[in-house]
Amino acid sequence: MSIKQKMKNKDYDSNPLDNPQLKKHPFQVEAGYFNGLSERIMNAIDAEESDLKFNLHLKKSPFTVPDGYFDNLSSKIEAKLREEQKEVKFYQRPLSRWLAVAASLVLLITFYFNQSDQAASTDLLSSVSDETIISFLESENGLSDELLLNLGEIDSVLDAIYADETSIFVNIMDSNPELEYDFEYFDY
Amino acid sequence: MEDKEILQAFRVSSNKDFAFKNLVAEYQERVYWHVRKILISHDDTDDVVQEVFIKVYKNLDTFREASQLFTWIYRIATNEALNYLKKRQRRHSVSIDDVYHELENTLTHGEQIDGDEIQMKLQKALVKLPEKQRLVFNMRYFDDLKYDEMSEITGTSVGALKASYHLAVKKVEESLSVD
């Protein structure tokens, strides 16, 4: 070692981190690593964007409402409700009620005298489709709100679609409660 | 005003309208956004939301406090929104697929929609889901409802809801990752 070098090393002895050799790290990357890096980062960003758990931006609704919509909604509902309450139902009208009773009596008498024609009447009714009867009842408010609420229509319709999709999962979960843990993974 | 106070006030006829006003103020936005996510169109949602609250008014006397008021209202809103879609399908004698196609069309060309690319991609993936999966996804992902609350609303078991959500998430993530 030359005297010059020895002197230099002596300097590093007093301050070892000044040695430029130390600035060189021992790590290596495979050839071409940096060439594909930006593409891989972009792919990772895309993957994260489509990850519902991490991309909270997706939670924001894209839907908007007209300015002041919620300020006026309540009064619109109240106005509509008042309007509905004003409408006197058919059976509440005194004259209509009597007409209805009279019509019922006529029907009963007709029915009594035409029992032999019963088969023909049934045929007539069966020619009316269920859809038409439902539409008629709906338009005449024949189905009470209470009844509509309890129809459970939503369940029957949805469950039909649903059964195919979920039956396997449900059966497995019912018989293996410990699998609950796996599903919790998807709990966002 | 708390739910309990609203319900108590509603039972006294002189306070009925005041209680209802408070109920609407409390729940109008939640009901609106729940229905909007099902129907997509603002105008359709506006009609249905009004019907929902009219039904709430007419039936609040029959509400049994076994469940929470908001899950009961959500249930009515869900029924009304889904019935609205079904009525439309019946009126125009079209298949349910056509109705979903219409929803997708509203997403692309409708008014009062202002999402960026990824948000719209998510909504388009959602309208392709079976109705119940879409419903479950909306309630869980966007509204952060608990499974037992969702169970009260839909009348479906918690296990089935979890399975449904899991399937929905899988399908949605698949759709989002496709360019």
pLDDT digits (tens, 9 = 90+) for A125-168: 677 777 777 776 666 554 455 555 555 555 566 666 666 666 66
The pLDDT-based confidence of A184 (bands split at 50, 70, 90) is very low
Contact A52 B36 (CB under 8 A): no
B18 shares contact with chain A (CB less than 8 Å): no
Q: Are residues B163 and B96 located together in one domain of the fold?
A: no
Please name the amino acid found at residue A46. D
Residue A16 pLDDT > 60, yes or no? yes
Q: Are residues B84 and B135 located together in one domain of the fold?
A: no
Among A15-24, A36-45, A79-88, A140-149, which is the least confidently predicted range? A140-149
Rounded to two decimals, the ipTM of the complex is 0.83
Domain limits for position B142? 116-179
- pLDDT for the residue A2: 67
Q: Are residues B29 and B102 located together in one domain of the fold?
A: yes
Q: Are residues B150 and B81 located together in one domain of the fold?
A: no
Last residue of a domain, one of B113, B130, B163: B113
Contact B167 A169 (CB under 8 A): yes
Q: How many domains does chain B have?
A: 2
Reference B152, options B86, B85, B81, B66; nearest CA is: B66
- pLDDT for the residue A148: 53
Best of B54, B71, B146 to substitute, by most chain A Cβ atoms within 10 angstroms, is: B54
Q: Are residues B158 and B93 located together in one domain of the fold?
A: no
Q: Are residues B71 and B127 located together in one domain of the fold?
A: no
Residue A185 pLDDT > 70, yes or no? no
A94 Cβ contact list (under 8 Å, min separation 6): none
- pLDDT for the residue A183: 45
The residue ranking higher by pLDDT, B36 or A33, is B36
> What CA–CA distance (Å, rounded) separates B95 from B32?
26
Last residue of a domain, one of B91, B113, B135: B113
> What CA–CA distance (Å, rounded) separates A55 from A49?
5
Q: At residue B52, what are phi and psi to the nearest 5 degrees?
A: -60, -50
Q: Are residues B83 and B53 located together in one domain of the fold?
A: yes
A158 shares contact with chain B (CB less than 8 Å): yes
- pLDDT for the residue B145: 94
Q: Are residues B22 and B58 located together in one domain of the fold?
A: yes
- pLDDT for the residue A4: 66
Last residue of a domain, one of B66, B89, B113: B113
Chain B residues in contact with A80 (beta carbon < 8 A): 50, 54
Chain A residues in contact with B76 (beta carbon < 8 A): 149
Reference B38, options B70, B72, B82; nearest CA is: B82
* Interface size, chain A vs chain B, as Cβ–Cβ contacts under 8 Å: 160
pLDDT digits (tens, 9 = 90+) for A53-86: 777 788 888 999 999 999 999 999 999 998 888 7
CATH number at residue B146: 1.10.10.10
Reference B144, options B5, B49, B12, B33; nearest CA is: B33
B141 shares contact with chain A (CB less than 8 Å): yes
The series of mean pLDDT values per 10 residues for chain B, 179 residues long, is 90 91 94 95 95 93 86 94 88 79 88 87 92 93 93 91 92 86
Percent of chain A with pLDDT over 90: 10
Q: Render the burial of B71-110: b for 16+ CB within 10 Å, e for the rest.
A: bbbbbbbbbbbbbbbbeebeeeeeeeeebbebbbebbeee
Torsion sign over Cα A156, A158, A159, A164: positive
DSSP state of A72: H
Q: Are residues B132 and B160 located together in one domain of the fold?
A: yes
Residue A95 burial by Cβ neighbours in a 10 Å radius (0-12, 13-18, 19+) = exposed
Q: Are residues B27 and B107 located together in one domain of the fold?
A: yes
C-beta atoms surrounding A14 within 10 Å? 7
Q: Are residues B14 and B87 located together in one domain of the fold?
A: yes
The pLDDT-based confidence of A119 (bands split at 50, 70, 90) is low
Q: Are residues B89 and B135 located together in one domain of the fold?
A: no
- pLDDT for the residue B25: 93
Contact B173 A50 (CB under 8 A): yes
